[in-house]
Structure formats: C-alpha cells, structure tokens
Amino acid sequence: MSDPSRAELLKEIERLEKVNRVLIRRVQRSINSAGSDFGLFEQNIHLDRLVKERTREVESRNVELSVARNKAEEAALSKSRFLANMSHELRTPLNAVIGVAQILESTALSEVQSGYLDLLSQASQHLLGLIDDILDFTRVESGALPLKLTPISPRRLVSEVISSLKHMPDASGLEVSAQISPSVPDGILADARRLRQVLVNLIGNACKFTESGSVSVSMEHRGEQLHVSVTDTGIGICSDQLVHIFERFAQADSGSSRRHGGTGLGLAISRHLVRLWGGELTLQSIPGEGTQLSFTIPCQPVEIALTLERAAAPISQQDARVLLVDDHPVNRLVARRLLEILGVEVIEATSGAEALEVLQTRDVDVILMDCQMPDMDGFETTRRIRQLRTETSTTPIIALTASVLEEDQRKCLEAGMNAHIAKPVQRETLSEVLSTWGRPALASVSA
C-alpha cells in the first residue's frame, strides 16, 4: 500500500473516531436527559401527591371553619335574641317603676318624700342605663348599630347633656361647663341619639371619677371635622392601664367597678360609635391630675332653622284625644296618668280587636300602640287600621313598646306606624310625640 493511501486511511480513522466520540456524547446526553426526565417525573408524582394531600387538608379545614363559623353566628344570634328578650322583659316592670315615679312627682310631697323619690328615680334611671349599655354592646358585636343622620344643633345638644348631668349625684359640687367655638356650625348632620350617648358616656365618666374641681367640654370645627374634648381634674389613669381602657368591661382599676359602678362598656361603645362616623376616640391622662377624652367626627354643616322653629313651636295639648292600646294593665295605668298630666283625654283598649271597635265610633288624634299583644298584635292592628276606608286610616300611630332593636323599629314602620317610643316611657317623650304627631301640629305644618 502506498503512502498516500495510508494517509487517507489515517484521516478516515480519525474522522470515524470523531464521529464515534460525537455519537458517544450524544448517547450520554440522551441517557442523562432520560435520567433527568425520569427524575422530574418522579418529582412531579411526589408533588402531585403532596398537592392532593394539602388540598384535602385545606378542604377539611374549610369545612371545620365553616361549621365553626355557623355555630358562632348561631351562638351570637341566640345571645342577641336572649338579650333582646331580657331587655324587653326588664323594661316592662321598669316602665312601671319609672312611670309611677314620674306620676308621684306631680303630686304634693313632703321634703322627705321628695328625697326618697329622687333616690328611686336615680336608681331606676341608672338601671335603665345599664340595660341600654348591655343591649347596645350586643349590637356592636353583631354590627347592627347603624347611624341615622339628621340635622341637629351641636350647641343645643351639648347644653342639654350638661344640664341633665348637672343634677346627677356624681356631678355634685363640680363645675361642669362647655366652651363652644364660634367656628362650630349652627347645624350639622349627625345621629342625635348616638352623639348624645357618646357625650353622656364621656361627661358622665368624667364626673364619676372627679371628686372635686371641674369637668369641661370643648368643641370646635376644623377642616371639615368636629373636634370634641372632655377634660376633668379627676383621679387620672396610670399608663399601664391606658391600653385596656377601651376594652369591654374595662375599669380604670380593679376596685373602680365597686366604688364607682358601671358595666365598663361605655367607652367601648363610644369608641365604636365614633368609628362608625369615620372618627377616632383618644385618651390622655396623668394620675392624680386628670383625664382628657377627645374625638373627631366628619362635620357636614346643614340648615336647621326650620327644624328648630317647628320643634320649638308651642302646640297646645289640651283637648287632644289619644287611643291607648295595651294589654298590660300596669302599662295602661302609667301611660294614661302621664297623658292626663299633660291634659290629654285618653281612651283605652286592651287588644287590637277592641281598638278597631273603638275607632268605628270615636275619632282620636293619636294612637299609642303596644306591639306585643295576644291574638292580634300591634303590627296587624296597624295594618288593618291603614286599610280602613275612612279618615281614621291616616291617624298617626305611635309604637309604645319595650322592643327597642333597630329591626323592631323597622318592623313598626313597615306595618304603617309613624314613630316608635321605647318603654320605659318618659313624660317629656310623650309630650314631644303629641306636639309632633297630634292633629294641631299637623294642621300648623300643612298651613
């Protein structure tokens, strides 16, 4: 074989070796790739198994949480119903206590008797406040404490609250005053009842924990916000207790509940109400020097001149005739006497059926309707009155009931009633209702 042939052969051998190495590398890569894919396959199977296990765990946990949530909601609903029923049952006898106390105030009493009556009135009003606090807190927990915004006068509201609290025993010997800035609008849009409740809680607490000195209320309007502060010169609160002061059932110290009374719910409820407005309630205190509670709420100025003029308009209640519908004899006795003190003629009916019979032959200016009555309740009685084809069908009907929840009030309005009065009934409330819904008032408004 010649040399060129050998050279060609060597080249061919070298080429084949290169090809072989390439093939070997490709085979190795294929083997490695197959092994990697197999490893990934095994990992995918493992991950899929884990995902399924976790999914089953999550689904099982969700079922448990759903069951627990349903049980919690049922428990909360049962508690709310229980407290609502208890509130109703407590208000009924308390209506007699407070009502009879008001009736006695209109009689001739000796100085000693007047003193006893004051103690009775204060104790019964305190008990009513405790019942309201407990009921309000159940509404806070269930989120069923809405705000009802209406035009109000903030100056008038503060003045009324301070005037009412000045006569309480806790305020005895204290200087209770208010400083209302000229920047505060004459009228704002707010929930008068709830704002009054916050002010009563804050000012009442300040008076309760201030043995001597003063309690002052300041109010000003800045940047579309109403700023309110209640400052006292009382015992103050230690810094380690401040973090708990807004918690439910909290007291400034372990002995405060016994010495000063109260449920420990007032500040918790007040903070919730302020937050419903989109505001915040804060507290600053120095032990031995005093405490300042402040809150801000959005403030929308409104025109209330007409509202105040109508509210203040003197409307005679003499010769007014009221149909009082209630199956409870003590409730009828109390309401009748309070109405008679106001100079009102009262016609009584012990049931819804009897009320319908009375209205066939007698004209009345206002109907005071109890809601919980046997056979035909106040709601059905109201619906039947509204269906009458006489002028009687438009007679104002006011619920007079110990059921005070928002849903109870809504049910009254849906049945055709015009307004709602909660028991225990107050003489001032009756007077206001007669002024608002009596026929003389309606005539003056329509004119």
pLDDT digits (tens, 9 = 90+) for 327-338: 999 999 999 999
Pick the CATH number of 316-438 from 3.40.50.970, 3.40.50.2300, 3.50.50.100, 3.30.200.20: 3.40.50.2300
Cα–Cα distance, 263 to 316 (Å, whole number): 41
Mean pLDDT calculated for residue range 355-378 = 93
Residue 413, pLDDT above cutoff 80: yes
Nearest to 343 by CA among 321, 365, 318: 318
HSE at residue 149, side-chain half, CA atoms within 13 A, is 12
Residue with token string 């001739």: 108
pLDDT digits (tens, 9 = 90+) for 119-173: 888 788 878 877 877 777 777 666 666 788 888 899 999 988 888 777 676 667 7
Residue with token string 């508690």: 79
Mean pLDDT calculated for residue range 263-290 = 85
Residue 428, pLDDT above cutoff 90: no
Coil, strand or helix at 401? strand
Residue 106 pairs in a beta bridge with none
Amino acid at 380: E
The enclosing H or E element of 34 equals: helix 3-105
Tokens of 251: 């007291």
pLDDT digits (tens, 9 = 90+) for 42-91: 667 777 777 778 788 878 888 888 888 888 777 767 766 777 777 778 88
Amino acid at 100: V
Nearest to 415 by CA among 427, 403, 424: 403
Cα–Cα distance, 146 to 135 (Å, whole number): 14
Percent of the chain at pLDDT exceeding 90: 28
Residue 187's contacts (CB-CB under 8 Å, 6 or more residues apart) are 151, 152, 153, 301, 302, 303, 304, 305, 307
User: 150-298: which CATH architecture?
Assistant: 2-Layer Sandwich (3.30)
Coil, strand or helix at 363? coil
Q: For position 444, what pLDDT does the model report?
A: 35
DSSP 35-76: HHHHHHHHHHHHHHHHHHHHHHHHHHHHHHHHHHHHHHHHHH
DSSP 248-306: TT--SSTTHHHHH---S-HHHHHHHHHHHTT-EEEEEEETTTEEEEEEEEE--B---HH
For 208, phi then psi, to 5°, come to -65, -40
Contact 157, 184 (CB under 8 A): no
Distinct helix (H) and strand (E) counts, the chain: 14, 12
Domains in the chain: boundaries: 150-298, 316-438
Question: Minimum mean pLDDT among 252-261, 370-379, 426-435: which range?
Answer: 252-261
Tokens of 47: 């991950």
Tokens of 292: 């300042």
Give how far the C-alpha of residue 139 lies from the chain's centroid of Cα atoms, to the nearest Å.
6
Residue 247, pLDDT above cutoff 50: yes
